[in-house]
Amino acid sequence: MTDLRAVDLDQLADRTGIRVEFYDPAGTRYGFPTFPYHSAPDGLATRRQLRAAGLRPGGHDPVAQILWRHRKTRRVAYLYRLDLAAPKRVASPAQRAAIAKALLARRTCRVCGQVKPYYIPRRYGECLDCLEGSQP
């Protein structure tokens, strides 16, 4: 695996003495190799980045994390190794048929039996036309 140090952040600390809050490539402060937002080393990606590339973690645990502040809360995104990532699984034709059947059931009204172009609100259990007809 590649070295988990960000050269720019190391040089900044050496040059100015400023330590970046969420930069801990050795994992001594946070217990896990940690990088600030937009500073992950090459060869690591988040789940979203893996998904966009048609990959998945492949059962491997994260090797590092990105920490940042959003308003007053601390946010985290875990990083996975790209070289261990596996291709995304594709649904079989039977699975796709089952999903299509379930989605059709969500658009079918239980009262009038019509298939609507929208999902029937679970709150009411009937389409909006039947709901309007049942109210005084």
Could you read off the pLDDT of 14-54 as tens digits, one per residue? 665 555 778 888 888 888 898 888 888 889 999 999 999 99
DSSP at 114: P
Tell me the sheet residues that pair with 55: 87
Structure pTM?
0.65
Residues 6+ apart with CB under 8 A from 46: 66, 77, 78, 79, 80
Residues 38/77, Cβ–Cβ less than 8 Å: no
Task: Please report which confidence band the pLDDT of residue 95 belongs to, taking 50, 70 and 90 as the band edges.
Answer: very high
Cα separation, 63 vs 52, in Å, equals 19
Contact present, 19 and 43 (Cβ < 8 Å): no
Q: Report the relative pairing of strands 64-70 and 55-56 from DSSP bridges.
A: unpaired
**What values do phi and psi take at 98, rounded to 5?**
-65, -40
